[in-house]
Every structure is written in structure tokens, then in C-alpha cells.
Structure 1
Amino acid sequence: MIETLKTLFNRDLNKLKLEIESYQNESKIWSVDKTIANSAGNLCLHLIGNLNTYIGAQIGKTDYIRNRELEFSNKDISKEILLAQIKATTQTVNDALTLLTEEDLKKEYPIIVFEAKTSTEFLLIHLTTHLAYHLGQINYHRRLLDN
């Protein structure tokens, strides 16, 4: 399961990197339009914050401190900085998952994220689907707004 999770996180973080790289007009990363409330840049920051919190800080014991509000209020961060943050997050996720054993996956996740306690395995699977969900939004955002 750990190798499967690593494969999924790496696949989708690499796709996130490709999506951000693919914007022809860098300013469009931060565009919103009509009913599109979140820019691709803010969704990218949200994914970075989410993974660094729930995998990096909790499992990898990094010193990451999340500021979720800034994930949605920061604007106009350069493509270069976003790409560097994706790269660093990918490394953090891989380093943290390497620390886990199959037995660790069955253990209770150290903090309550949802309404009730979950296993570490459940939370990690949730994080893969969360990443894929927002990755799809970013792809759609780019194809609609990066003219």
C-alpha cells in the first residue's frame, strides 16, 4: 500500500507541476471568472499546504505550520516559486511515506481531521483523492482561462 500511495502522489504532483508549467500566460494562473471562485494558483497553494500539513508535519515530523487562509488569499506568486514549492512538497511526501510501515497505516491518524478518528491509511487515501480532485479543477481552469 505504501508503494501504491507513493506512486499516486508522485503521479499527481508531477501532473500538478505540468499543469502550472503549461500556463502560457503566467498571470492567468491567478485568474478567476464568473463562477470560478478559486484560481489555479490558489488551488495549487491549497494542495501544497494540505500535503505539507497532513503528511509532512504529522507523519514526516517537519516543522511546517499551515496558514490555510493565505492559501486562498495570496496572489501573484511567480510560476517559478509555485514550481519550487511543488518540488519541495513532492520530496516531503516521499520522505514521510518512506518512514511508514504497513502496520503504521492501520494505526489511528494522530489528529482528528474529519468528524471522527480515522486510520492513517484512510487519511492518506483521502489525500490522494483530494489532490486528484483539485488537479482536475486546475486542468479545467487552465484550458478555460489561459487563452
Structure 2
Amino acid sequence: MSLEIVKNLFNRDLNKLKKEIESYQNENKIWCIEKEISNSAGNLCLHLIGNLNTYIGAEIGKTNYIRYRELEFSQKDISQIELLAKIESTKQTVSDALELLADEDLKKEYPLLVFETKTSTEFLLIHLTTHLAYHLGQINYHRRLLDN
């Protein structure tokens, strides 16, 4: 795996996240939940921001970010403009942190125990790209379903 590929995937999908949040015509719908939809797009967005700032920003980039995961799912009614600013800031944090890595760093053990066993930095970064894409798809579906 190439570090450039990972950088491109994060950049691409964080731009898509920004586009999804921008695309809500009714800002209040970002926080809407209905029937079987248990997480709003706003909360999924905050979750992605917290996740990337923790595992890439704080650990790789040494940003001193402190995560409050429970708030990612309980905070509500953050403005669309503020969410977009948080995405942009996260995009910069991810980019800056990944610039600190070299391709050979990908094979090294990721310093935190995230799963049941230790993984390589490469494995964790791939996991984080798929996690981002998974929730990005949920946000897209949420927007198309509830932003009428």
C-alpha cells in the first residue's frame, strides 16, 4: 500500500462528506431521525470528525485532541456552517498528520490498542478509510431520504 493512496482516499471522502453536509437544503434535517434511523447525519459527521482527530490527529499528528465520544452522538443542532468548518479542520489535521509518515511507517505497529490485538499503522489507516466511507454512505442515504 502507498501512503499517497491513503492520503488521496481521505481527501476524497472528506470532500464528499463536506459536499453531503452542504447539500442539505433544510439545515434542520441534518439532525433528523425517524423510524429505524437511529443516528442523524449530524451525529455521524461528529463521529467521523472525532474518530479521525483521535486516531490520526492525536496519535500520529500529536495534536493533543481529546475525544468525547458520547458527545458525538448526543450533541444536536450544531449549525451547518460549524459542521463544515469542523470537516475542513479535520481534513487539514489528517493531511498534516499523514505528511509526517513515510511509506515504511505503514508497516510499523500502530501505538494504540484499537481492536482485540495490535495492528499495523497500515491496517488501521485502511480501517479508518472504510469506516469513513461506510458512514459517508449512511449520511448520503439519510440526506436523500429525509431532506425533502
TM over 0.5: yes
1:101 CA drift (Å): 0.8
> Percent identity at matched positions?
80
d(CA) in 1 for partners of 2:5 and 2:115?
A: 23
Residue 115 of structure 2 aligns with which residue?
Answer: 114
Residue 3 of structure 2 aligns with which residue?
Answer: 2
Q: Report the RMSD for the aligned CA atoms in angstroms.
A: 0.3
Q: Deviations over 1:78-121 (max 9, x none)?
A: 00000000000000000000000111110000000000000000
Amino acid at match of 2:109: E
Q: How does 1:19-58 map to 2 (within 5 A)?
A: 19-58=20-59
Q: Secondary structure at the match of 1:66?
A: coil
d(CA) in 2 for partners of 1:62 and 1:110?
A: 15
d(CA) in 2 for partners of 1:33 and 1:23?
A: 16
d(CA) in 1 for partners of 2:15 and 2:111?
A: 28
Amino acid at match of 1:32: I
Q: Structure 2 regions of 5+ residues with no counterpart?
A: none
d(CA) in 1 for partners of 2:103 and 2:13?
A: 22
d(CA) in 2 for partners of 1:82 and 1:90?
A: 12
Which segments of structure 1 move beyond 2 Å, counting only runs of 4 or more? none
1:8 CA drift (Å): 0.2
Q: How does 1:93-104 map to 2 (within 5 A)?
A: 93-104=94-105
Residue 87 of structure 2 aligns with which residue?
Answer: 86
Residue 68 of structure 1 aligns with which residue?
Answer: 69
* TM-score, reference length from structure 1: 0.99
d(CA) in 1 for partners of 2:19 and 2:43?
A: 16
d(CA) in 2 for partners of 1:103 and 1:133?
A: 27
d(CA) in 1 for partners of 2:26 and 2:82?
A: 15
Q: Quick check: 1:133 aligned with 2:126?
A: no
d(CA) in 2 for partners of 1:79 and 1:142?
A: 13
d(CA) in 2 for partners of 1:81 and 1:3?
A: 29
Residue 147 of structure 2 aligns with which residue?
Answer: 146
